[in-house]
Amino acid sequence: MKLSKILKNLRILTEVKNHKVTGIYNNSKECTYNSIFIALGGINNDGNNFIDEAIRNGAKTIITEKDIKKEVNVIRVKNIKEIEAKVAKVFYKDLSSKIKIIGVTGTNGKTSVTTLLHNFLKQWGSVLIGTNGAFINDEFHSLSNTTPDILTTYKFLKEAVTRHFRFAVMEVSSIGISEYRVHGLAFEYTIYTNISHDHLDYHKTTQNYIEAKRKLLIQTKRHNLINKDDHILYNFRDFRSIYYSLNEVEVLSEEPLIFKFNDSRYYSRLYGKFNVYNIMACIKILSLMGINLIKFKEYLKDFKKIDGRMNVYSVQDKKIVIDYAHSPGAVKNVLETFKGCVVIGCGGDRDILKRKVIAEICLDKAEFSVFTSDNPRTESLYKIFNDMTFGLKGDYLIIPDRYSAIEYAIKNFNTILILGKGNEEFQVVGNKKIRFSDLKAVKRILKE
């Protein structure tokens, strides 16, 4: 594809030397001959500092927000993230229209819903993009964000279309929406799971957070499937909206999970009433797509677990639950499902306002609470603990070292709920990632 064609589609009138475009990159090291380099700004890694490297590697056009001069084409734009998405859409020939994309957004439940759908849909070919990484059917690729940058997403979609896959299932975060990481993608269906307190370090206000989610409504081609029981989402209405609700089901058991919907019984090895919502979202979407629910019922009965989500281990006389819950709503869901000692922390350099809310939920719902570290990043652990516990009344213990906190809980309680990290394999301390796994810690402690 020629550069002139891309610019014409974007209505960019800058005078340039035309050339065939071989690729689009925002990593200078990946640039190839005749490629476009998108010089994204940033605090820690500013793409503008790597323009010369991109040119040495073959880039013939640079897109930037800065006023610079180079021996190659330089196109200056106002909103580089939006332009990146638009350039990618033209270059990849509107690839998202060639595969059925199911987007899932919400504060909680995104990973559970996308994982359930992907593992069922991969019999027809499916790519999953989300918190636990990207999966091209079963082929794993690590990701640094729940919703990766738009160029990464297009690479996965291209691979899926090349392999004649029918589906792509994607977690869509509020930050991803705001950062134009899904801009221009055409979603066949979008599922809205719920909205509660989260990401206010980025969005600043709850209303900004809500409005970020709302933007996705207009990118859906067929239907927006919305949790009717969520008082915020209930107002997300347009002519494509369809709803799901617990009022449509009869929950017969929570452990094991059994419920009735439309005179059919569904059995699942997943835990908690909130997982009925996640399964119902899958049922409704599959119904809209005309897929046989008898097959899904059989699949659901045998589906064992979602990595890092309500993973339950019964060892010796202990029941140990490991879950990714790190928002107030998610923490409450876990603690209402299992009663025991909770081990939890709050992330550094992130939403300060939710810290005390989470601590209060723990004291209200758990048998006992141990507050510990969870990716403190560059923030003082003691400031985080103070934000969590200032003015707090009740019994709790602060053990800064996460391993020691887990060890204390295991030695003193029969049911232990280890929350916040799920299947993460690291702790972020300062600007470094240090190897740490809740599950590996549990296994080591039980062996001692």
pLDDT of residue 141: 95
Other Cβ atoms less than 10 A from the Cβ of 145: the count is 16
Residue-wise pLDDT for 87-96, tens only, equals 999 999 989 9
User: Given a cut of 90, is residue 151 above it in pLDDT?
Assistant: yes
Architecture of domain 311-447: Alpha-Beta Complex (3.90)
pLDDT-derived band at 210 (thresholds 50, 70, 90) equals: confident
User: Given a cut of 80, is residue 190 above it in pLDDT?
Assistant: yes
pLDDT of residue 357: 94
User: Given a cut of 90, is residue 107 above it in pLDDT?
Assistant: no
pLDDT of residue 159: 96
pLDDT of residue 223: 93
What is the chain's mean pLDDT, rounded? 92
pLDDT-derived band at 282 (thresholds 50, 70, 90) equals: very high
pLDDT of residue 204: 80
pLDDT-derived band at 271 (thresholds 50, 70, 90) equals: confident
Q: Which long-range contacts (CB under 8 A, 24 or more apart) does 429-437 make?
A: 429/373, 429/375, 429/376, 429/377, 430/377, 430/378, 431/377, 431/378, 436/402, 436/403
Helix (H), strand (E) at residue 237: none
Q: What are phi and psi of 40, to 5 degrees?
A: -70, 140
- Of 124 and 395, more confident: 124
| pTM of the entire predicted model | 0.87
**Angstrom distances, CA of residue 371 to CA of 24, 28, 199, 349, 382:** 45, 42, 21, 17, 11
pLDDT of residue 157: 96
* Region 174-193 average pLDDT: 94
Where are the chain's structural domains?
3-79, 95-302, 311-447
Residue-wise pLDDT for 43-79, tens only, equals 678 999 999 999 999 999 999 999 999 999 999 999 9
Which two three-digit tokens encode residue 332?
Answer: 């409450």
pLDDT of residue 110: 92
- CA-to-CA distance for 217 and 240, rounded, in angstroms? 9
Other Cβ atoms less than 10 A from the Cβ of 66: the count is 14
**Does the domain made of 3-79 have the CATH classification 3.10.129.10?**
no
Class of domain 95-302: alpha beta
DSSP secondary structure code for residue 19 in this structure: -
pLDDT of residue 144: 87
pLDDT-derived band at 208 (thresholds 50, 70, 90) equals: confident
pLDDT of residue 379: 94
pLDDT of residue 306: 86
